[in-house]
Structure 1
Amino acid sequence: MDRFSLKGRTALVTGGGRGCGLAFARGLAEAGADVAVFDVIEQSPDFSAIEKECNVRTAYYKVDVSSQDSLKAGFAQFQKDFDNKLDICVPCAGINRHTRFLDFTYDEHHDLLSINVLGLYFTAQYAAKQMIANGTRHGSIILVASMASYVAVRDQNCSAYCGTKGAVRAMCPAIAKELTEYGIRVNSISPGYVNTEMTAAFSHLVEGWKTETINKRIAEPEDIMGACVFLASDASSYMTGQDVVVDGGVTRIS
């Protein structure tokens, strides 16, 4: 079980103020890692409690990953506060839009690309540069993709979102290949239907989503947490360039 321990390591989670990002931050802290969070929302009371419950160091930074200036400033402050230490990065910040393909506007699609693809890509890049500069020995970058990169989402018009998450899954092995020489592993997680603030707007679709899963329920963020901790830890030391699907079996029975 020591191989699952993250004691002595430092993690950064974007979009960590709520939903799956908050669950990932909590899971990494419970495994012993100090955790920093980037998010555009005000600090979550639940996040502040992690420090007390897990006896680890935490920090929260208001950062917009779609803005290069904001992202650079966030990393600069994070590096200063954590003495340039970084072992784990989970770029989780993302948005969705329920809009028909024929009605989608250029600006709407640009917003998704700026956060879900560019924001994630450059978060991973800045993290990798920091890991390389400091000779990190256990570097792990965990990109957050989605079940939507495999299948169309039932009763939702989200072609642009599916495209952005497909981009995340496609870039994962390519980035992993380039970072292997630095001892940095890169994997991704593809969650299925999860009960978060993002999906709350589609509460009327939940019953239909349940019928698509093998176990007839949608996930809570904590159901995805374990995959993140596993990929961050030495327990997955031989895994890189892989996508871990945590979707209740939707992509296996669709």
Structure 2
Amino acid sequence: MDKFSLKGRVAVVTGGARGCGMAFAQGLAEAGASVALLDMLDPVIPTAELSSQYGVTIRYYKTDVTSLQSLQASFDAIKSDFNGQLDILVACAGVNKNVHFLDTTEKDFDGLFNVNARGVYFTAQLAAKAMIENGTKVGSIILVASIASHMAIRSQRSSAYCGTKGAVRAMVPGIAAEMNKYGIRVNSISPGYVKTEMTAPFPDLVEGWKDEIMNGRVAEPDDIKGCCVFLAGDASRYCTGADYRVDGGVTMW
């Protein structure tokens, strides 16, 4: 079980203020990692409360992942605050927009790709550079894709969103191959339908998802964080370049 421990490690989680990102951050903290939360929104649970609950350092950095300047400033601050250490990245920041393919504008398309694909790519790049600089031997980069990279989302008009998540999943093997010589593993997680603050205003939509899912229920955030903890630590030391679906079987149903 020691292989699942992240004690003494430092993680960055983008989109970590709420939803899946917060769940991933809590899982890492439960396993012993200190965590830097990067988000444009304030955390739904204060970082002081999280730090006290899990007995690790958790800090928040307001960050716009579409801005390299903002990302660099946050990584510089993390380097200072955590004595140059960085072992884990979970790139979870993402947005969606329910818009029909025929009505999608250039602004819609660029907005989605800037956050979901470009932001993820350059966040991973900055994290990799920091890991190489500090010489970590346990580097793990986890990009958050989606079941939307595997299938159409029948209940929503989300072709552009599916494209962004497909881009995330597709970039994983290439980044993994190039980072392998540095001892940095790179994988992705594709969550299924999850109850979060973002889905709370749409109870009918969430209820309808149940019929699409093999096990007949929508995931709670607690259901998806175990895969993240597994990929972050030594239990997955032979895993790289792969995507892991945490979807209740929806993509196989």
> Which bracket does the TM-score occupy, shorter chain normalised?
over 0.9
Q: Does 1:219 align with 2:230?
A: no
**Aligned 8 A contact 2:18 2:43 in 1:** no
Distance, in Å, in 2 between the alignment partners of 1:198 and 1:180 is 35
Query: Structure 2 counterpart of 1:190, which letter?
Result: S
Query: Per-residue deviation at 1:205?
Result: 1.7
1:109 is paired with a residue of what secondary structure? helix
Aligned to 1:13: 13
Distance, in Å, in 1 between the alignment partners of 2:231 and 2:156 is 30
Query: Per-residue deviation at 1:46?
Result: 4.9
**Aligned 8 A contact 2:47 2:59 in 1:** no
Aligned to 1:128: 128
Distance, in Å, in 2 between the alignment partners of 1:98 and 1:108 is 10
Aligned to 1:61: 61
Query: Structure 2 counterpart of 1:150, which letter?
Result: H
Query: Per-residue deviation at 1:26?
Result: 0.5
Distance, in Å, in 2 between the alignment partners of 1:156 and 1:23 is 24
Query: Per-residue deviation at 1:35?
Result: 0.5
Give the 3 Å change call, closer, same or farther, for CA 214–46 of structure 1 in structure 2.
farther
Structure 1 runs (4+) greater than 4 angstroms displaced = none
Which consecutive residues of structure 2, in runs of 5 or more, have no partner in the other structure? none
Query: Structure 2 counterpart of 1:180, which letter?
Result: N
Which consecutive residues of structure 1, in runs of 5 or more, have no partner in the other structure? none
Distance, in Å, in 2 between the alignment partners of 1:63 and 1:249 is 34
Query: Per-residue deviation at 1:214?
Result: 1.4
**Aligned 8 A contact 1:95 1:198 in 2:** no
Give the 3 Å change call, closer, same or farther, for CA 47–225 of structure 1 in structure 2.
farther
**Aligned 8 A contact 1:21 1:92 in 2:** yes
Q: In percent, how many aligned pairs have the same letter? A: 60
Aligned to 1:87: 87
**Aligned 8 A contact 2:40 2:64 in 1:** yes
Query: Per-residue deviation at 1:44?
Result: 2.9
Give deviations 1:168-192, integer Å, cap 9, x for gaps: 0000011000000000000000000
Q: Does 1:147 align with 2:160?
A: no
Query: Per-residue deviation at 1:109?
Result: 1.0
Q: Calculate the TM-score normalised by the size of structure 2.
A: 0.98
Distance, in Å, in 2 between the alignment partners of 1:49 and 1:153 is 36
Distance, in Å, in 2 between the alignment partners of 1:185 and 1:116 is 21
Greater alpha carbon shift after TM alignment, 40-49 vs 229-238: 40-49
Query: Per-residue deviation at 1:48?
Result: 3.4
Give deviations 1:135-174, integer Å, cap 9, x for gaps: 1110000000000001100220000100000000000011
Distance, in Å, in 1 between the alignment partners of 2:149 and 2:200 is 20
**Aligned 8 A contact 1:26 1:47 in 2:** no
Give the 3 Å change call, closer, same or farther, for CA 215–46 of structure 1 in structure 2.
farther
Distance, in Å, in 2 between the alignment partners of 1:31 and 1:51 is 13
Query: Per-residue deviation at 1:221?
Result: 1.0
Distance, in Å, in 2 between the alignment partners of 1:252 and 1:201 is 28
Aligned to 1:234: 234
Give the 3 Å change call, closer, same or farther, for CA 202–160 of structure 1 in structure 2.
farther
Aligned to 2:30: 30
Aligned to 1:105: 105
Query: Per-residue deviation at 1:125?
Result: 0.3
Query: Per-residue deviation at 1:69?
Result: 1.1
Distance, in Å, in 2 between the alignment partners of 1:226 and 1:43 is 21
Distance, in Å, in 2 between the alignment partners of 1:117 and 1:197 is 22
Distance, in Å, in 2 between the alignment partners of 1:243 and 1:170 is 9
Query: Structure 1 counterpart of 2:131, which letter?
Result: M
Aligned pair count reads 253
Aligned to 2:159: 159
**Aligned 8 A contact 1:22 1:47 in 2:** no
Aligned to 2:115: 115
CA RMSD of aligned residues (A): 1.0
